[in-house]
Each structure stands twice: as structure tokens, then as C-alpha cells.
Structure 1
Amino acid sequence: MLSYTSEIIINKPVATCFSTIVNLDSMKHWQDGLISIEHISGTPREIGSIMILNYQFGNRKMKLTESVTHRENNTAIHFNFDTKMMHNVQKNSFEAIDETTTKWTSENEFFPRSFSSRIMLFLIPKAFKKQTQKYLTNFKNYVENGTSIANQK
């Protein structure tokens, strides 16, 4: 298992940050590699909803099943992400530092489902942390400045 916490300060109100993270249309602007979203069941980004997220990183394609396990408006949203090789529990919390500043904390736990994924977690844990931090930074840039990674491709 791999467990870590990432944080970022965003110079926007907590309501703006939360409404952006639950907005499916905004994902393409800050989630590098995302190519499509398939709604499976439930109301998107509500507890119990399930979606398939399709990513491409270079020649490597990845399909994640996203399940929302907890949601408190403007405070928290938790996800389970599943692939054949990995189960990821992600707990996102949003704290208003003041009226115009938010702290986003993302707690991640990765549980390998195979020997090869166990080896990968052991050998390259920094790659997982780096990817999370990249998404947090992309999100911050999108929320604060409207900077979209979709426009950079």
C-alpha cells in the first residue's frame, strides 16, 4: 500500500473551488491525459455515482472506474478509483482559509491488486505523488486564472 497527502492553497473562495471540482465539464481543463468520461449510474459527482474515466498518457491508455463515496458541499468529496491493477481511495477536503482563499487537501491510498503493481508502488512512489501534485497545480491555475491544459495541446 502507498499512502500520502498533498495540499495546495487556491486564491479563490471555497464555493468556487468545490463547484469546479464537481463540474464534469471542467475536468478536461485540469486533468492531463483525460480523453473521455462515460456516465454509468447515479447522478454524476453525487454519492453512489459511477463513471468510467478514460486517460491516455503517450501510448499508454488507462481506464478508471470512479465511484463517489462521500460528499459534503463545499467541504469534501471522496472517490474510489479502480483499475485492473490498483484500487485508489482519494479523500478531498476543502477548507476556507478566509473568504477568498481555500486549502485543498487530497489524501490518497493506493492498494495494489497484483504483484507487478505492488512492485511499481514500491519502486516509483514519487511518480504517484508527482501526478497528484500536477493535478492540484493544474486545478489551481484553472480556477484562479482560467488557464486550461486543454488549450496547451
Structure 2
Amino acid sequence: MADGKIADHEEFDPSSTHPTRPDIPTADGHRMQGSQPRSPTSSTKGRRPTPGKERMMRPIKYTVSLEIALPREKVVQLLADPAHLPKWLRGLVLHEPLSGEHGQLGTKSRVVMQMGQRKIECTETITRREPADLREIPRTSVVHFDREIVGEGMWSAVRDRLTEASPQTTLWESENEYRFSGLLMKLVGLLMPGAFRKQSQQHMQDFKAFAEQGKDVREATD
């Protein structure tokens, strides 16, 4: 330190949190290069998934609602009647109970839907129905009708709430959730997430037209 300088000092790169170490002499006179900062590898633990993969795994959730110009008791009875399903559930091919009574809590049903050129088959389970008796429902109570639907590469839940907006008007709110496990359905969920909301809105509008005006989707010309 006679000249006032520090020998063999470490040089610090301000752009890095790792110092660059100098060459280190060995016993045989050679010089060993100092260790350099290690770059992350594919085996690094705790790394975050890429944005694309993260998005593909995220479930689709949304809520849609509309008002129907009918008393709530009339609306819920129309919704619960299996004989009316083909009149407003567009694309329905088959809806048959596998166990239990149609529309009752715990009932499992086989459902087949026509989607364009494809037929999609799934199993529906009623997970909540309150009240069990849909007659003389108290005005302040909320009617709940929930179900889970499982198909190839897909799981979904629909949670319907029906409240009395006025003595002659019913508010129908439908909370929907979709999760995907198969590659094809993951891609569909990633590329066309709005299609699921659009389909839910279509079914609700079709039911409204049936309930208020007696329209049957099987007779539609569009």
C-alpha cells in the first residue's frame, strides 16, 4: 500500500448485484478465472410461470343478470319444470336423470347439447335448491338454484339467484365459473373466454322470451 492504491481489488459492476472476482493465481503458476454470477436455469426453484401458462390455468368467472316481467313464483316454477327445458334451452338434445328426481337436490343428470356440428355430453349435479318448496315463497327470501356440470376437459358451476324486484318483476342473477383440464378446452378458454358469457346471456334471453311471450327456440328462424 506504499503507493496508496489497493492491490487485487474487486471491480463492481453497477448494473449487477454480483461483483466480478479477479483471476486467482494457483500453485503451478497458472491463473484461475474468478467465478462469475450464475444465470437462472430451467431447474431454478420458485420461478414464476410464464404469463401465457398462468392465464391458461386461470378459471373463467362472470355474473350475468336480467329482469323478467313475471312474478317470481311463476318464474321459478317455469325454470324448475323439465317439460319446458327444450322450449328455451337452445341446443338441448337430451336431459335425463341418472339418479334422483329431476331438479331436486343431489340429482345427477345426463345432458347432451348440440354446439354447431358437435355434440357435447356432460353430467349435471344439483348442489343447492332453496327453498325445496317453490310455492308460497316469502317475498324477502332469495331462491337459490346451483348446479355443477362436468364434461370432457371441463368443470363448471352455475349459481342462480332469483329475487323479487317488484310484485310483478323477477331479478335473475347467474354466477358462472369454468375450469379446464384438457389441452383443447384450455385453448378454447384462453382464445374465446367471451363465448361462455355470450352463451349464458343467450340462454337467459331465450328463457325470458319463453316466459313472457311463449316463444319456443325450436321454432326460431334465425
Q: Secondary structure at the match of 1:21?
A: helix
Provide the rounded CA distance (Å) in 2 between the counterparts of 1:91 and 1:28.
21
Provide the rounded CA distance (Å) in 2 between the counterparts of 1:6 and 1:16.
21
TM-score of the superposed pair, with normalisation by structure 2: 0.67
Provide the rounded CA distance (Å) in 2 between the counterparts of 1:58 and 1:137.
19
Provide the rounded CA distance (Å) in 2 between the counterparts of 1:57 and 1:19.
27
| Structure 1 residues 118-151: Cα deviation after superposition (integer angstroms, max 9, x where no partner) | 2211110110000000000000000111111122
Unaligned runs of 5+ in 1: none
**What's 1:152 paired with?**
220
**What's 1:30 paired with?**
88
Matched, 1:83 2:141: no
Provide the rounded CA distance (Å) in 2 between the counterparts of 1:132 and 1:110.
12
Matched, 1:59 2:127: no
Structure 1 residue 152 displacement after superposition = 2.3
Structure 1 residue 106 displacement after superposition = 0.4
Structure 1 residue 55 displacement after superposition = 1.1
| Structure 1 residues 48-95: Cα deviation after superposition (integer angstroms, max 9, x where no partner) | 001111111231001121100000135110000110111001000001
More divergent stretch after superposition (113-122 vs 31-40): 113-122
Q: Secondary structure at the match of 1:47?
A: coil
Amino acid at match of 1:24: P
Amino acid at match of 2:204: L
| Structure 1 residues 11-34: Cα deviation after superposition (integer angstroms, max 9, x where no partner) | 001111111111111110111110
Unaligned runs of 5+ in 2: 1-58, 135-142
**What's 1:102 paired with?**
170
Name the count of aligned residue pairs.
153
Provide the rounded CA distance (Å) in 1 between the counterparts of 2:122 and 2:74.
26
**What's 1:7 paired with?**
65
Which is richer in strand?
1
Structure 1 residue 101 displacement after superposition = 0.2
Structure 1 residue 105 displacement after superposition = 0.4
Structure 1 residue 5 displacement after superposition = 0.3
Cα RMSD of the aligned pairs, angstroms, is 1.1
Matched, 1:72 2:118: no
Q: 1:135 aligns with which of 187, 198, 203?
A: 203
| Structure 1 residues 106-125: Cα deviation after superposition (integer angstroms, max 9, x where no partner) | 00000102232122111101
Matched, 1:121 2:189: yes
Q: Which has the bigger relative contact order, CA under 8 A and spacing at least 6?
A: 1
Provide the rounded CA distance (Å) in 1 between the counterparts of 2:181 and 2:89.
24
Provide the rounded CA distance (Å) in 2 between the counterparts of 1:45 and 1:104.
18
**What's 1:44 paired with?**
102
**What's 1:19 paired with?**
77
Provide the rounded CA distance (Å) in 2 between the counterparts of 1:78 and 1:16.
19
